[in-house]
Amino acid sequence: MKGRLYGVGVGPGDPELLTLKALRLLRTCPVVAYQSAEDKESVARGIVAEYLPGNQIEVKYHLPRALDPYAAQPIYDQVVTPIAEHLAAGRDVVVLCEGDPLFYGSFMYVFTRLSDQFETEVVPGVSSPMGCASALSVPLTYRDDVFSVLPATLPAETLKAQLLNADAAAIIKLRRHFAKVRDVLHHLGLASRARYIERGTMVNQKIISLDEVYPDQVPYFSMILVPSQSRL
């Protein structure tokens, strides 16, 4: 029999935000797989390291993100091959994913390639906007508010249009796009509402004002939240 594939969300960084279901699977599945840059430790594995029993097969894989989508296809196909081999051999595999697997999660690249071949279950996790909102202690939305999640990689004019149509927003994928986003927020008069956070819920979490941020030092795990103006 084939193994079962699990996409497990490990949350935004705090190990105690893991779900009970995720914890059970982490402790019982024979194979644990996780994405990581080739020269770095896996963030997802680091979040759950204390829960791993130590007797599992571990599969580390790398999904280069800077590639053109068409160029990435054959590379991604090859990257997931070791996971497929374990499943074909009858071993269940847990694939770790920061945040939630289906919300901008790296697991989606595994899911689209293997879920039609192997029985698959997705275990949701606390997403980064929700974790950051809690860390910042800001209510994001009320009643009929429209909440948007916007990649900072969008052109400035697109960001402006989307922010004008939202009551609240989370702006992700900041890194080298921070200066552009900050300029947009100032232009729209939203900078005073915006809240910046790095590595939300992690032990090295950092919360500072927009104008204190050095654009060339913005890490991958950073976010700007623009909460609703509503107060009910």
Residue whose token pair is 């702006």: 171
- Report the pLDDT value the prediction gives residue 66, as an integer from 0 to 100: 64
Q: What is the mean pLDDT of residues 189-206?
A: 96
Q: Model pTM?
A: 0.93
- Whole-angstrom Cα distance, residue 185 to residue 156? 10
Q: Is 54 helix (H, G, I), strand (E, B) or coil?
A: coil
Q: What is the mean pLDDT of the chain?
A: 95
- Report the pLDDT value the prediction gives residue 69, as an integer from 0 to 100: 76
161: pLDDT strictly greater than 90: yes
Q: Which of 44, 13, 223 is nearest to 126 (CA)?
A: 13
Tens-place pLDDT, residues 10-68: 999 999 999 999 999 999 999 999 999 877 899 999 999 999 999 999 999 999 876 67
Under DSSP, the state recorded for 16 is G
- Report the pLDDT value the prediction gives residue 230, as an integer from 0 to 100: 76
- Whole-angstrom Cα distance, residue 75 to residue 77? 5
Q: Is 213 helix (H, G, I), strand (E, B) or coil?
A: coil
Spatial strand order of the sheet with 5-9 comes to 57-61, 31-35, 93-97, 5-9, 120-123
- Report the pLDDT value the prediction gives residue 65, as an integer from 0 to 100: 75
Q: In the structure, what pLDDT confidence band is assigned to residue 148 with cuts at 50, 70 and 90?
A: very high
| CA within 13 Å, CB half, 208 | 14
- Report the pLDDT value the prediction gives residue 67, as an integer from 0 to 100: 67
73-77, 128-132, 207-211: range with lowest mean pLDDT: 73-77
8 A C-beta contact, residue 90 and residue 1: yes
232: pLDDT strictly greater than 70: no
| Cβ-based neighbour number of residue 10 at 10 Å | 31
Q: What is the mean pLDDT of residues 160-164?
A: 98
Tens-place pLDDT, residues 64-121: 876 677 788 899 999 999 999 999 999 999 999 999 999 999 999 999 999 999 999 9
Residue whose token pair is 């194979």: 31
48-52, 69-73, 161-165, 220-224: range with lowest mean pLDDT: 69-73
Q: What is the mean pLDDT of residues 123-144?
A: 96
